[in-house]
Amino acid sequence: AGTPSGFRAEMHAAMNKMSKDMEAAPMTGDPDKDFLAMMIPHHEGAVEMARLVLLNGRDPLVRKLAEEIIAAQQAEIVTMRQRLEILKTGRDMAPGGFPALGGTRGPAAP
């Protein structure tokens, strides 16, 4: 396990990368595409921060939460990438919602 100050530095680096990647996301003027383009690096940042907790943390409940965050965020990243590609191409191959989320976040229709 790393030192508390090392962990803090790694967390700041992860947050800085996330912010830079979000700012670098190409904006199209389409709220749906732009939201997904920015949320993907946001979720990637959350995965990295949770990974750092697994490497450095000791509390079993916090570690379990980090594992759950990684699993959920990775599934959502896949779903968002798929949906962004569908929106870019205009081909909706998975109607009915976000598959990785069981359609819980609303229909995929425009």
* Residue range 13-40, pLDDT digits in tens: 999 999 999 999 999 999 999 999 999 9
| 37-82 residue pLDDT tens | 999 999 999 999 999 999 999 999 999 999 999 999 999 999 999 9
Domain ranges of the chain: 4-101
Entry pTM = 0.78
The span from the CA of 24 to the CA of 38, in Å, is 9
Report the alpha-carbon distance of residue 71 to residue 59 in Å, rounded: 19
